[in-house]
Amino acid sequence: MSGSGVVIGADGLARCPWGLEAETLADYRVYHDTEWGHAVHGDDALFERISLEAFQSGLSWLTILRRREGFRAAFAGFSIEKVAAFTEEDAERLLADPGIIRNRAKIAATLANARAAAELAPGELDALVWSHAPDAATRPAPRSAADVPAVTPESTALAKALKKQGFRFVGPTTAYALMQACGLVNDHLAGCHARKG
């Protein structure tokens, strides 16, 4: 990401720097405009985001976006209850599924994370994740991509809390990406049309 502020698209709307890519990649534009930074609640919805962020580790987010429906089909719509019941045969099926990223460690982590999430009471995963949202009043709108951190004390604490519950592939950087994607923090740049508040 460059250090520049918002960019103006062909549609006249100001977007975050990755909006430069959004001009040619509709998947990014739609995700940026309608989903990234919007509040996500619900255990299954958050489990999906935790899983996708883990799969994204080391890859382009576009790769994940373009396979999202494949992931949803392969992982039973990210139903915690259903994925927690997956067997070793399911893990082998997933390793052969061309609709997802076929990474053994990430698949194993997703199954382990489903089992960890299933051990929590209904709503507890949502509460755990959202308890790490920083006070929005203490976070001024970033003016450039250089103002957006990769890790924060809150993301470090969230990663630690998830790991304590048995989650895997949830380091501080992945936890911060989750916080951005799920609206715990608003990292749309000042002037971006998608920034609310």
| Of 144, 176, 142, 139, nearest in space to 157 by CA | 176
- Pick the catalytic residue from 21, 23, 35, 61: 61
**176 classed as catalytic:** no
The span from the CA of 121 to the CA of 105, in Å, is 26
Whether 31 sits among the annotated catalytic residues: the reply is yes
Residues 26-44, buried b or exposed e (16+ Cβ, 10 A)?
eebbebbbeebbeebeebb
Whether 190 and 5 have beta carbons less than 8 Å apart is answered as yes
- Choose the catalytic residue: 31, 48, 154, 176: 31
Could you say which of 18, 53, 154, 176 is catalytic?
53
Partnered with residue 62 across adjacent β-strands are none
In residues, how long is the chain?
Answer: 197
What Å distances lie between residue 6 and 19, 46, 140, 145, 148, CA to CA? Answer: 8, 28, 15, 9, 13
Q: Which of 130, 150, 145 is nearest to 189 (CA)?
A: 145
Distances in whole angstroms, Cα of residue 21 to Cα of each of 61, 99, 134: 12, 24, 29
Reply yes or no on whether 18 is catalytic.
no
Q: Which residues are catalytic?
A: 31, 53, 61
